[in-house]
Chains A and B, each alone.
Chain A
Amino acid sequence: MYVGVDLGSRTIKVVAWQDGRMVDYKIEESGFAPHEQAREMLTEYKADQIVATGYGRHLAREHFADDVITEIKAHGIGIHTVLPQVTTIVDIGGQDSKVITLNGKGQVSNFQMNDKCAAGTGRFLEIMAASLAYPLVEFGPAALDSDQEVQINSMCTVFAESEVISMKNRGAPRQHIARAVHSSVADRILAMLNRIGFDKYVAFSGGVANNPCIVSMIRGKLVGVQVAVPENPSIIGALGASIEAAKLGESQA
């Protein structure tokens, strides 16, 4: 059995891979000692090889993992496995947003990643949801319900939060503000997509792909492009790492 573990900024994802298919997965909050948490999550598997990815990959390697790959490569492998026609990936995680392009073999040919800034990331959505008193899971659906466009001008998380507070205090309904927040994230992603270029098939991965409003907005703006969301977008990185573990194990066998 081969195991991939994705130690992200918010959650840890584990995928177990055997005989060419995924046999199990888990998602848990990262907690204070991510490597211990991850190791705990792994105990039930008899892993021949463990490959780690995500922010905590090097910590995992110090403690238990056999090898590491970046989340960029991991998402490339993961998406290429579940959606082989896709050549462009939008991966929005807790701390980063990335656009990755793949060649025909599923190898990374180029990527863009946000600079030192939380705008356009899961963290940004989280802070804005909190400021509008929405539980995170309700934030996207609420924004989707709003039919009115207001505009958030600021891309910076700190300034955008002030802007949201001003809007609240002008009496704007919160679902309209929620929509504006989502719209600003979608615009940010579109700008990254336009900078790097994209083809007919785009896939979403990472935790933010679970947000229906972001996905619908991106779909609405990419005319003639098929935007796919895999069944479980949060585990794509861990899936890619598990497949890399299998490749590693088989090359050693």
Chain B
Amino acid sequence: MTAGKFEIKAYPEMWKDLDMDVERFDKMRLMLGDIYEKTYLSQKNRPSGMAYFDNMIAEIHGGRIKELLAAKKEGKPVIGTFCVYIPEEIVLAAGGVCVGLCGGSQGSVPDAEKILPRNICPMVKSAFGFKAGRICPYFQAVDLVYGETTCDAKKKTWEILDNMVSTYVMEIPQMKKQTDQDMWLAEVKEFKTKVESLAGKEVTLEELNRAVKIMNNKRKALQRINMLRHTNPTPISGKDVLLIEQIAFYDEPVRFTEKVGELCDELEQRIQDGVAVPGKNAARVMVAGVPMALPNWKLHNLVEGAGAVIVNEESCIGTRYYKDLMDEDGEDIETILQNLTRRYMQIDCSCFTPNNERIDQVLKEYRESDAHGIIHYSLQFCHTYNVEEIRIREACEKENIPYMFIESDYSPEDVGQLQTRVEAFLEQIGR
């Protein structure tokens, strides 16, 4: 992979069949390839197991899309998602595929701003823009977009998006009382019916139990790599782990689990051999907050560019996705759906009130990751995370944890300022 120039593979014929804006998309492909090469392939001393994930990026707009189209041909539902609230187990049980949709790039924001208000979350704008501009093959390939009601910008955008691609919206409760749990269970059952109608069959107990195992194994693999990176000194860069957490949302789960497992074996060996990235005295930073959707590597790039290393992401694209497992081998479908509801209700998204679990979780991950400080990262106009930040800050002050809050978006214009703030934070924590 390091030999020669890195390039995201082009599939113009397939893109044309998907009704994409091929000419424009091809330019974005070249740009992404450049950024990836600069951000990722320039890293020294990477584990060799990262080669698989490099290839997942090279094939992000080709190989994986082909697999999705093949699944569709067999009548399997392909569902696009944005949120860790989608009960993936149900989709898998029905033989379907879940893919995280594009939503982490400035490139598609102007497309969205032609229609949507400008002062809403960049992730919502970016995602909407990818569909409006026909510049995301995943958006073009899915049968259905799964939307949820985790924030106002999203829930109202789904109404507009539905004109371009069929969008199914599930209601996510905002509290965790018994009535909310009952409501979520009802929503899960309705979603199951919807998926079954797309698949043209009812899911069986065996299929559901098998899917639960697949998802648990995937989450266990991610837990394992996160635990290994917590080693001090760490055997893998924060950028690389973030990439894996991002790829988790679009790769085939069984293969992904296997590849993460192989990488973990390599990391265990590295730890034994004392191989560290970057070095023994590097500052260790934990990131908490909103998801960093591919290709949002802005903060990681700044922190690791300054010689520090990121050792944890407390985020939807991070631990929030994989920290909770669910009970396996349910006796009947009803029991499994109840277990599943319980598992998903443990997610500590800031859309909930109160959300004390998250404060405790941030502190717990800080201790487990042996970090020296926390950077809370939030996107502009993300009200729930931006307000909840106050409580995280207060908790850090109380525990004497060095803490910094960054609010940003996908545009490059604040990189200079952010670099100063990140470097000053590293000076402050004394490394």
A-B complex is real: yes
Interface-lining segment among A40-48, A65-73, A125-133, A168-176: A65-73
A134 at the interface (CB under 8 A from B): no
Residues of chain B within 8 A (CB-CB) of A108 are 424, 427-428
Contact check, A70 vs B420: say whether CB atoms are below 8 A apart: yes
Interface-lining segment among B74-82, B242-250, B407-415: B407-415
Contact check, B408 vs A116: say whether CB atoms are below 8 A apart: yes
Bitwise interface map of A from 18 to 38 toward B, beta carbon under 8 Å scored 1, else 0: 000000000000000000000
Chain B: minimal CB distance from A30 (Å): 13
Count CB-based A-B contacts (< 8 Å): 40
Chain B: minimal CB distance from A95 (Å): 7
Nearest neighbor of B420 in chain A, beta-carbon distance: A70
Q: A70-B420, A116-B413 are in contact. Are A109 and B428 (CB under 8 A)?
A: yes
Instruction: Give bound CA distance, A114 to B420, whole Å.
Output: 11
Contact check, A115 vs B414: say whether CB atoms are below 8 A apart: yes
Instruction: Give bound CA distance, A142 to B186, whole Å.
Output: 67
Q: A115-B407, A116-B408 are in contact. Are A55 and B424 (CB under 8 A)?
A: no
Instruction: Give bound CA distance, A73 to B421, whole Å.
Output: 11
A109, A110, A111, A115: which has the most chain B beta carbons within 10 Å? A115
We find that the number of chain A residues with CB closer than 8 angstroms to chain B is 16
B117 at the interface (CB under 8 A from A): no
Instruction: Give bound CA distance, A73 to B431, whole Å.
Output: 13
Nearest neighbor of A108 in chain B, beta-carbon distance: B428
A161 at the interface (CB under 8 A from B): no
Residues of A within 8 A of B (CB): 55, 69-73, 95-96, 108-111, 113-116
13 further contact pairs, Cβ within 8 A, besides A108-B427, A110-B428: A70-B420, A96-B420, A108-B424, A111-B424, A113-B417, A113-B420, A113-B424, A115-B407, A115-B414, A115-B417, A116-B408, A116-B413, A116-B414
Could you write out 23 A-B pairs with CB less than 8 Å apart? Answer: A55-B416, A70-B420, A70-B427, A72-B420, A72-B424, A73-B424, A95-B416, A95-B417, A96-B417, A96-B420, A108-B424, A109-B428, A110-B428, A111-B428, A113-B417, A113-B421, A114-B417, A115-B408, A115-B414, A115-B417, A116-B408, A116-B411, A116-B417
10 tightest A-B contacts by CB?
A: A116-B414, A72-B424, A70-B424, A70-B423, A73-B427, A108-B428, A115-B407, A70-B420, A113-B421, A55-B416
